[in-house]
Amino acid sequence: MRNKTLRLSALLVCGMLVLSETYGETTEPSRGWPISGTPVLQDRMRGLVEFYEKPTLPQKKPIEWKVGQKDTLWAFDFSNSSHYQVPATCRAVGQYCYILVEDSAWTDWVDSVGVAGLVKAFDQSCKADPHKGIYQMDVETFGNPPDPGVDGDPRIFILLLDIRDDCREDGTCFGGYFYSLNEYEPSTPDCRDCQYSNLREMFYVDCNPLDVKTETAKGVLAHEFQHLIHWGKDPWEKKWVNEGCSGYAEYVCGYRSRRVGDHFLANPNNSLIDWIGTFADYEQTFMFIAYLAEHYGGRQTIKELVAEGRSGIAGVNEVLKTKGTDFTSLFADWVIANYLDNGGVYGYRMFDVPTYKIPTTKITSLPDTLQEPKPGLESWAAQYIELPTVAGIEMEFRKGVGSNFLLQVIKKVKGQTSVIDFSSTGSLSISGYDTLTLVVVRTAGLPYPYQCVFNELPNWVELAEIETLPGKFLLGQNFPNPFNATTTITFSLPAATSVTLDIFNSSGQRVRRLVSTELGPGQWTVGWDGRDDQGRDLASGTYFYRLQAGGYTQTRQMILLK
């Protein structure tokens, strides 16, 4: 039988700025590509939300709007951060929306055909489903909007206007925005901006240069409506989650291309959680939310995330509690999927990912020492390091005090791919591979640089292959047992399958995940250094290790003596 050895020792020796996001199917920025103003206004509204929280207003009897009815509405001028009034006329009354159009834009940029197309897409038929409109698709995915809301009207107001902004140098302009100021009474105490509230559930869509007859404009509807829903559920949500959900809204309604990630994958050293509005930011956040949905419960999971009162990473962790994983494990699988996209947990079914765009650091000869790239690895971002093919390699990772890293190795051999997790305090030795890629993620802590030392193992002899494969699943007893520094666990697989190997303490708490990947048939050997997932030494005592593979589960006991 084929023996694959993964030796873990006790010594860990591996010691653009845009304030917005984009919509649409184009993957390269082009002149006139619309971006969203919602993140800018979210910053502006942060203090009001923290002070007053969500407004609790008495429900008012709604005005029965009719086509032709006029109003003067407040809008935001992004070019000078001020408010201005927009004379507008109601041009359509749908089942779920009112379409109002800025009077000066009527006939020049908007006509009855364009308005009818938006109403149909919002109310009745979107690109993804001819029997459901954007309203229903977003509600099914993210939850209900405030109903009847601050104005007592269940319909959403959509104002088409020429948004005042300073387009960027590449010609991209604001395509729309949701402004939560409209959820507050104009007379709200100690709120200077509240005098500009329209006091209704509404969002804004540009009509110049954005053409309201295009699919891109309908993507804006899906995108900004998600922002409205999300605010009603969790006005404190972190930008990266909120923007990822709006990108996902475009996808579920059919207005996003199957090809995604060109900007983000070309720059994987881009923090998932620190939103600054680069093209990579909105691609990255969308891909993360889409991956979460695809692998952990679909649109229902995203609805739970939007409704969850905790924000950011805490909210994701809360949603994943019932699904047997957490944010760190999800992120670890996701960065591998972005590199491989090979199906299963390490890939996407819903769209095509240009993995070839990912830049890698190449180690061409051994020994070698790799310093962390400057200006440094961002938190919750990834670096991919390709290692040379030799008989055996040892990696030593050295990190600064107060920094935390997640390390994984992608091993390919004879068409089989496995992923090896190991602590960021110790060394890892691997043999018998065709290609090897080290993935480094900074999870938290101080931004101290890391150093990784690579050495070829001396006199390493690869085990001979025996043609016979094991006929059944088997988990062997660890050796030595009891143990002090390290111990070895061996298991056999009769066929390729998904495998997890976990360590538990005597209270039943999981303290370490040694394996979480798909493995081929054969005998596998994994070492454990007596540390937990955070690299901390564990106390002496009784521990249990559990193998789960292809419907097979077996648990054995071992004793750690210090």
DSSP assignment string, 227-240: HHHHHHH-TT--HH
- Whether the pTM exceeds 0.85: the reply is no
pLDDT over 50 at 37, yes or no: yes
How far is 293 from 301, CA to CA, in rounded Å? 6
Mean pLDDT confidence for 509-514:
89
> Which DSSP state fits 196?
G
More confident residue, 381 or 373: 381
* pLDDT tens readout for residues 117-133: 999 999 999 999 999 99
Nearest to 336 by CA among 325, 326, 347, 320: 347
pLDDT over 80 at 206, yes or no: yes
Rounded to 10 degrees, the C-alpha dihedral 510/333/491/496 comes to: 140
Looking at the chain, the domain(s) classified CATH 2.60.40.4070 span 469-560
> Which DSSP state fits 479?
B
Residues 6+ apart with CB under 8 A from 437: 339, 360, 384, 385, 386, 387, 409, 410
Looking at the chain, the domain(s) classified CATH 2.60.120.380 span 9-15+360-456
What are 98's two structure tokens? 């009112």
SS3 321: helix
How far is 513 from 504, CA to CA, in rounded Å? 9
CATH of range 9-15+360-456; options 2.30.38.10, 2.60.120.380, 3.90.226.10, 3.30.70.120? 2.60.120.380
Residues 6+ apart with CB under 8 A from 374: none
* pLDDT tens readout for residues 426-443: 678 888 899 999 999 988
Strand-pair partners of 444: 404
pLDDT over 60 at 476, yes or no: yes
Q: What is the pLDDT of residue 89?
A: 98
Percent of the chain topping pLDDT 70: 87
Rounded to 10 degrees, the C-alpha dihedral 550/555/556/558 comes to: 110
Q: Which fold has domain 469-560?
A: Immunoglobulin-like (2.60.40)
pLDDT band at 364 (very low <50, low <70, confident <90, very high): very high
pLDDT over 70 at 60, yes or no: no
SS3 164: coil
What are 256's two structure tokens? 């996003």
Single-letter code of the amino acid located at 99: I
